[in-house]
Amino acid sequence: MTLTSGKKLSEAAPGKLPRHVAIIMDGNGRWAARRHLPRVAGHRQGVEAVRIIVRAAGELGIEYLTLYGFSSENWKRPAEEVSDLMGLLRLFIRRDLAELHQNGVQVRVIGDRDHLDADIVALIDEAEALTRENDRLKLQIAFNYGGQNEITSAVRRIAREVKAGRLDPEAITPETVSGFLDTAGIPDPDLIIRTSGEKRLSNFLIWQGAYSELVFSDALWPDFTPERLREAIDEYCSRSRRFGGLDEPVQDAGK
Ligand code: IPE
Ligand code: IPE
Ligand code: MG
């Protein structure tokens, strides 16, 4: 992806480009409703947007892209819609895996696999195994993912380590906790984008997003284009990240 000036965004903003962009892909249902179509039509169009954005992210030089595809709370939706969403993950992996692999994309799925159908788990395993060594763009798909569940499961595993005498409770640090999350080894998201105008995290990367910049786009997910992605990154580049510190060293007023 190039800017109108012909420059890559990374060249236009050296050192400022987010390494890790995470997206809450919201608004498929509303996209369909506006066209008097069933919700599944919005989800299908959402998958097209996924394809386009994954490609654009790679071309922009983003290292990590995490997409929220199905939350642990989305099981509350009608069974038919849940089944449509599961079907679309299947379709996406079947149809796009070879191309993703060819383009050097590493695929990893985060979230709870225990309650997914066996054939979906097999597809996920296949996608992860095939693309493990790729390093052009690292794509995480959050599927049956919920931040509270992820942290709870990490706490449970940490407690087991303590109980087994392998971990000293006093030695537990935030890094220890991070290492037990599904995202172990992945840098925290620099930028979290949510589409469709909603302004909440909906249980997405609640630990990892502690210092993420948040950008909210009014576009419904199926309408989210590489241009919108670039706008969100431009907004990110204009922000000052302080992580609790200060922008500039403070001058001593008395001197
Ligand atoms: C996002 O679109 C996709 C998922 C949550 C799976 P929605 O289905 O939430 O769309 P809206 O919010 O109803 O428009
Ligand atoms: C968040 O969207 C989950 C995904 C995008 C996968 P939702 O549409 O489920 O979130 P709420 O219910 O509006 O918070
Ligand atoms: Mg929604």
Per-residue model confidence (pLDDT) at position 16: 86
Ligand 1 mutation pick, 23, 24, 30, 199, max ligand atoms within 8 A of CB? 30
Q: Which atom of ligand 2 is nearest to the CA of 145?
A: 6
Stretch 167-179: mean pLDDT: 98
Among the bound ligands, the one closest to the CA of 22: 2
At 42-90, the pLDDT tens digits run 999 999 999 999 999 999 999 999 999 999 999 999 999 999 999 999 9
Residues that place a CB less than 5 A from ion ligand 3: 26
Q: What DSSP string runs through 21-65?
A: EEEE---HHHHHHHTT--HHHHHHHHHHHHHHHHHHHHHHT-SEE
Tell me the pLDDT tens digit for each residue of 108-163.
999 999 999 999 999 999 999 999 999 999 999 999 999 999 999 999 999 999 99
How much is the pLDDT for 135?
96
Asked whether the predicted pLDDT for residue 25 surpasses 70, the reply is yes
Overall pTM surpassing 0.85 (yes/no): yes
Write the DSSP string, 210-235: TT-EEEE--S-GGG--HHHHHHHHHH
The domain ranges of the chain are 17-146+190-237
Helix spans in the chain (H): 9-12, 28-34, 39-60, 79-102, 118-131, 147-163, 174-179, 226-237
For residue 241, what are the β-bridge partners? Answer: none
Mutation pick for ligand 2 pocket among 198, 200, 216, 217 (CB with most ligand atoms within 8 Å): 198
CATH class of domain segment(s) 17-146+190-237 = alpha beta
